[in-house]
Structure formats: structure tokens, C-alpha cells
Structure 1
Amino acid sequence: MCAKKSNRGFALVLAAAAWSSAALAGNPISQRFNADPSPHAFAGKFYLYATNDQDNSGKYWDSTDWRLFVSKDLAHWDDAGSFLSVTVFKWARPDAKAWAPEAATRNGKYYFYAPVGGDKIGVAVSDHPDGPFVDAIGDALIDKARDANAGAEPIDPAVLIDKDGQAYLVFGTRVPKIVRLKADMIHTDGPIQDLVITGFPTDDPKKKYGEAPFLSKHNGLYYFSFSTGWPGQIVYATSKSPMGPYAYRGVILDYRPISTNHQAILDYKGKSYLFYHDKLLPGGGDYKRSIAIDSLTYNSDGTIKEVVPTEAGVKPVH
């Protein structure tokens, strides 16, 4: 009799745990504050690299490490902890902050692109998507003081590796920048160029490039998405060439009730997903943000349907 009660109690605990796990699905992806999503399908799992808003002062974006979340199905995310600090870059300023990151993989290596201090972008490398990461070159990949046309604020890196193997890095606020990367993924190849966007609506002065550049490709067309400012919409432009020029096409995500917005698009097995951050948790706000995921749909003419944020998020991907 006691054994039966014990087994039943154990079953109830398991059921409660299963229910709790299911309840964690939906938006936001974590009960920790996190922002600036960089999502990837690496080595049979989904990896989401993020800015660590939980540990900032609440008065500025002044965290000094990056957070990692891992998922098997896109809907349920495990917190893998703060996996890298700005101190890995010995050349960074003592007061350097850990801002919006990016990651990429090539030749069995994983590369982590990290804006530090607002004036430099470093790159770290690892044999595994969750690290440990080490400084790849012992110097900045992009340096405002060193590199011509690096812009006023070289932050928000994003990487696209094209079908032909050529890699591109976009970054910057107020004026978007683009530069080719060498095959080693840790050196630039050629000059930094301004990425040109044409066709902004002339009747809307708020339609401009602000920050959060992201480069993606769908059905042979290149998509450059970005935030229009502070606060900003997430909008996009398209081109037949990765270097541009890009023609403005429309809005992906409308204004959110916070001062910044930052997005990424993940394509996986014929479906697309928009990652972004928002004010979603109690106590959240401009400096305490939360990452969310919703489905993204392309129309037959190549345009993107505007994404309406949901609480449910996305269905598990098997």
C-alpha cells in the first residue's frame, strides 16, 4: 500500500514537471531579461545568443557578458548561462560593455562576433557552439579608430554566408555598413562600404535606417532588415545583390513599447521565424527586455507579411 502511494506521488511529480515544462513554451522565451537575439541551428539544436539584460544596472545597457539559450524544438528554451565575458578580449577598454552579438559556423568552427565598448567589434572562436570561446585574432575585427569608414558606432554585427561561400558582415548605427569577410571568418576582405537603401516613403520622416542590421536570403533574393530608430519599427529592403543597393519594401514588426528593437530571421526546414525583443516581463522596460519568437511568412511576390506579436509564440519544431 505504501509503495502504491509512493509510486502515485512520483507519477504526480512527473506530471507536474511535464506540465510546468509545457507552460514555459510561448513568449517570452525565458523568465530572465535578455535581448538582441542571434538565433542559429547548429549541430542538431537551436542556439540563441543574447545580450544579458538581467545583470545590467537597469539604467543603461551596461552588462559585461553574453547569455546563451539552447532548444531542441524552438518552443522550449534552456538557459545555458553566461558563457562569455568581454574580458576575453584583452584589447577591449576596461569599461567595455557587451552589446548585441552574432554567431556563425564554418569549417567545423564556431565564430562569435561581439561589439565591445561601442567602438570595436571582436571575434571569438570555439570548436563547439556553446564554447569555450577564445579571442580569434588578439585584436579587433572592426575598429573605429583604425578602419576607414567604420562609422560613428560600429555595433550590431550580423553575418551572412552566401551559397557561393562568400561571407558578408553588416553592422553600424545611423549609416549601415557592409564588408566582405575572408574565408577564415576573422579578417575583412576589401573596404568597408555604406549599404545603400532607396525608396523610403517621402511622407514619413520616421522611415530611416537606425540600427540592428540583419542580412538574410530567401528564394534567391537578399533581405536587409533593420530598426528605424529609437523607438523603431522593424522594416526591410531587398536586393538581387548582397552588396546592394536595397529597395525599401515595408514593415515586418511595428513599434514596441520600448526604446529599442532588434530582430533576426531564422529559416529552418521551409519555415521562417522572427526573433525580436519586447517589454514582456514584470519590471521590464527600455533596459530590461525579453526575447520573443513568432512565425514569419513570405508572400508569393517576395514581400513579407507584417508580424503580429503573440503570447503563444511558435509551435515546437520536430
Structure 2
Amino acid sequence: MKIKILSILCIIATLHIQCKEQKPSSAGADESDSISVEVFEFDKPIITEQYTADPSAHIFDGKMYIYPSHDYESGIPEDDLGNHFAMRDYHVYSMDSVGGKITDHGKVLDIDQVDWAHRQMWAPDAAEKDGMYYLYFPAKDKDDVFHIGVAVADNPAGPFKPESDYIEDSYSIDPSVFKDGGEYYMYFGGIWGGQLQWYRDNKFQGKRDVYPDDEKPALQPKIVKLAPDMKSFAEAPKDIAILDKDGELLKTLDNDRRFFEGAWVHKYKNTYYLSYSTGDTHNIVYATADNPYGPFTYQGKILNPVLGWTNHHSIVEQNGKWYLFYHDSCLSGGKTHLRSVKVAELKYNLDGTIQEMDKMVSVD
């Protein structure tokens, strides 16, 4: 694919960010075989052949693998439910280390392969167990209700073969899987278009947007232990309590701190870090706990707002350094549904708190 390279200035609020615009195809799914794309440059999109978002990054067999969603121009008008985010397939990308050449391993799963799925294959994640690899993904069924599916491969680059049905008792969006010792835990959930507000105590309440009152505790992300087969739940999903420093649950009206979507858990020096997006206030924030179930205590921001409506991230360590993978809309000139994956080094203070970032940081 011949890429046209232009320089543009992307502006959001008071942030002035220089980035390079390279027009990827937005026509739909790409059937290409495995190809190498341009060498990574810090603070710029790391994938420019197509639009990518919601990056889940993992180290498998010593190599960095990225599992993003795949944006394209759907032609659907923008709305608060995210119908214009009409993604329908997944690619897998890899690089030996951050800063190296990125390889696109091609399309590894398409919605036409998933019997139960109707539309909107949103942010995925992946996990490995006993030499098998599992791709977890949300999609809407024929009734436009989100569930979480799983597909399996014998290598991290796929292709992945989907199970015939979604995971029983799964709902909402943004699955992410965290391994702790020999156990695997899935975190999931998202409000507004993510439909978490349609459920109470894991029971579907109908297609009704019901939120707690402003002064009541906000809706919480979910955690569930995966069964040994990695294709089912070993228990009923549980709420993850997110508390303020006084030990009180974050409230619905606390838009700067309350959970919206994109939960991700990592462990650093025996502390569990739950990070997530605040959605309509556009922050990536984090809370900490001493076990994967929480409760988690809110600590602060990781990443301030980026260009575009959404932000969705992952955090991973490689060769002694920690990295934040995220996306923005700089490459598309600010189109909120055409996003591109970026990466920055994440740094901790001596007390274990995470240094706050203003969009772009220099990486040594």
C-alpha cells in the first residue's frame, strides 16, 4: 500500500501535539498476508497501514504482541451509544521490542466466522495457557446485546478459531485477562454504549439505561475467575469496589474518577493496579489493591485527555521497562472513530505511584 505522508498539527484543549498523518485505508477489512510496516517512532502512531484502537499488549515467547480493534469508515452517524464504532475484524501485530519493526500478521478473526455475532466487534484481549492462545472479544448478538466470545489458536499470531457461542453468563464489553499465579481473571464492563447499566447482580434488566442516583455509588467494573478450560466462567462475576482515600465508594456524579470502561489490571512490586477510562471526561486513571478482587483505592491519573472522544489502554513490562499503549485520533485528523495506536514509557515514583502523563512523553 502506498502511503501519503503529511504533517498535521492536532490540537485538543491546551495540548499542542505534533504528529505525522499517514492515510491508511478505511474502506473495511484488510485481507493482506503478513507484512512488515514502517519502523516505530516514539510519540507517533505505531501502525499506519490501517486504523487501530484499544490496544491490548502482551509479551508472549519474549516478543511484544498487540491485539487492537480495527477501525474503518462505517458511514454511520456519530452518537453516544457508539454505533459509529462498527469494527468487524481483528489483526495481530508484533515487534521484538518496543521501538522495533512492527509486523502485521494479517486478519486473524472476522465477524462472519462468529456464528452468534451480529455486529460491533470492539476491544479484545488475549491470554496464553499451556501453549494455547485465547482471544477474548465483545460483540453484539442478533438482538443487539453485547456478550463476550472467545477464539483459540496454537500461536499468538493466530489465526483464531471462534467457539460456536459466547461465554455463558457474559455481558457488556472490554474483556481483559490477568494471570496471577496459576489463576486467570477476566475484568470487563462499560457503561453507556457498553450496556453495563442494563444489568443488576448479573441479571439482564431489559434495554433500559438505569444508572444509580448522582450521590449513590457508581456502577463498578466486573471481575470473574476463568475456568481451567479458559472458555467459561468458574464463578459468577463480582463487582470491583473502587474507593476514595476515605474508604468511600466513588459516586455516580464523580465523572473525573468513576469507572466508565476499559479496565486493565497489572501487578508491580506485589501491588495490583486497576486502570481504566473515565469516558466522558477522557482520563486514564488508576487505583491500587493488595489482591485482584480489590477493593481498589483510587490514586490518580495516568494519562490526560487525548485527541478524540475515547481512550483505551494497556500496560505491559518488557526488558525492565513499563509501557502504556493507548490510542488517539491524530492520524485521521481528529475523526473520533478512526483511531491509531501509540505507546509511551510508563514510570513509577519511589512510593509506587505512577507519574502522570500529558499525552506525549519522551522515551529515553
Which TM class, normalised by the smaller chain length?
Answer: 0.7 to 0.9
Aligned to 1:68: 92
CA distance in 1, matches of 2:261, 2:298: 15
Q: For structure 1, which segment, 66-75 or 53-62, has the greater mean C-alpha deviation from structure 2 after superposition?
A: 53-62
Aligned to 2:314: 264
For residues 40 and 58 of structure 1, do their structure 2 counterparts lie closer, same or farther at Cα, with a shift above 3 Å needed? farther
The 8 Å contact of residues 242 and 250 in structure 2, kept in 1 or not, is answered as no
Secondary structure class of the residue paired with 1:139: coil
Match of 2:275 among 225, 232, 248: 225
The 8 Å contact of residues 67 and 92 in structure 2, kept in 1 or not, is answered as yes
For residues 311 and 215 of structure 1, do their structure 2 counterparts lie closer, same or farther at Cα, with a shift above 3 Å needed? closer
For residues 84 and 231 of structure 1, do their structure 2 counterparts lie closer, same or farther at Cα, with a shift above 3 Å needed? farther
The 8 Å contact of residues 57 and 63 in structure 1, kept in 2 or not, is answered as no
How far did residue 132 of structure 1 move?
2.1
Aligned to 2:210: none
How far did residue 55 of structure 1 move?
5.3
CA distance in 2, matches of 1:34, 1:84: 15
The count of residues paired between Structure 1 and Structure 2 equals 282
Counterpart of 1:36 in structure 2: which amino acid? Answer: D
Aligned to 1:293: 343
Aligned to 1:6: none
Aligned to 1:216: 266
Aligned to 2:19: none
> What CA deviation, in whole Å up to 9, does each residue of 1:296-318 have, x standing for no partner?
01112111111233376x56xxx
CA distance in 2, matches of 1:192, 1:204: 24
CA distance in 1, matches of 2:166, 2:151: 10
CA distance in 2, matches of 1:57, 1:114: 23
Residue 171 (structure 1) aligned with residue 191 (structure 2): no
Aligned to 1:12: none
Aligned to 1:90: 115
CA distance in 2, matches of 1:66, 1:58: 20
> What CA deviation, in whole Å up to 9, does each residue of 1:273-316 have, x standing for no partner?
0000112214342101111100001112111111233376x56x
For residues 166 and 86 of structure 1, do their structure 2 counterparts lie closer, same or farther at Cα, with a shift above 3 Å needed? same
> What CA deviation, in whole Å up to 9, does each residue of 1:194-242 have, x standing for no partner?
1110007889543211101111111111110000112420000000011
Secondary structure class of the residue paired with 1:225: strand
CA distance in 2, matches of 1:30, 1:214: 22
How far did residue 78 of structure 1 move?
2.3
CA distance in 2, matches of 1:308, 1:58: 31
The 8 Å contact of residues 58 and 288 in structure 1, kept in 2 or not, is answered as no
The 8 Å contact of residues 256 and 281 in structure 2, kept in 1 or not, is answered as no
Secondary structure class of the residue paired with 1:66: strand
For residues 49 and 58 of structure 1, do their structure 2 counterparts lie closer, same or farther at Cα, with a shift above 3 Å needed? farther
CA distance in 1, matches of 2:330, 2:323: 19
The 8 Å contact of residues 50 and 100 in structure 1, kept in 2 or not, is answered as yes
Residue 81 (structure 1) aligned with residue 126 (structure 2): no
Alignment RMSD: 2.2
Look at both structures and tell me which one has the larger radius of gyration over its CA atoms.
Answer: 1
- Which segments of 5 or more consecutive residues in structure 2 lack a partner in the other structure? 1-36, 78-83, 192-219
CA distance in 2, matches of 1:310, 1:244: 30
Aligned to 2:135: 112
Secondary structure class of the residue paired with 1:262: coil
CA distance in 1, matches of 2:98, 2:240: 32
> What CA deviation, in whole Å up to 9, does each residue of 1:131-185 have, x standing for no partner?
121124x22115xxxx3xx6xx61000000102x111000001331110111221
Match of 2:125 among 102, 118, 141: 102
> What CA deviation, in whole Å up to 9, does each residue of 1:31-57 have, x standing for no partner?
121100011111232211111113544
Counterpart of 1:262 in structure 2: which amino acid? Answer: H
Residue 135 (structure 1) aligned with residue 162 (structure 2): yes
Secondary structure class of the residue paired with 2:112: helix
CA distance in 2, matches of 1:50, 1:206: 25
CA distance in 1, matches of 2:63, 2:187: 25
Counterpart of 1:302 in structure 2: which amino acid? Answer: G
How far did residue 257 of structure 1 move?
2.4
- Could you tell me the TM-score, scaled by structure 2's length? 0.72
Q: For structure 1, which segment, 254-263 or 104-113, has the greater mean C-alpha deviation from structure 2 after superposition?
A: 254-263
Identity %: 38
CA distance in 2, matches of 1:48, 1:66: 11
Equivalence map 1:238-253=2 (5 Å): 238-253=288-303
- Which segments of 5 or more consecutive residues in structure 1 lack a partner in the other structure? 1-19
Residue 35 (structure 1) aligned with residue 68 (structure 2): no
Q: For structure 1, which segment, 98-107 or 71-80, has the greater mean C-alpha deviation from structure 2 after superposition?
A: 71-80
Match of 2:243 among 198, 202, 211: 198
CA distance in 1, matches of 2:316, 2:305: 21
Counterpart of 1:242 in structure 2: which amino acid? Answer: P
- Could you tell me the TM-score, scaled by structure 1's length? 0.82
Secondary structure class of the residue paired with 1:80: strand
Structure showing the higher helix proportion among its residues: 1
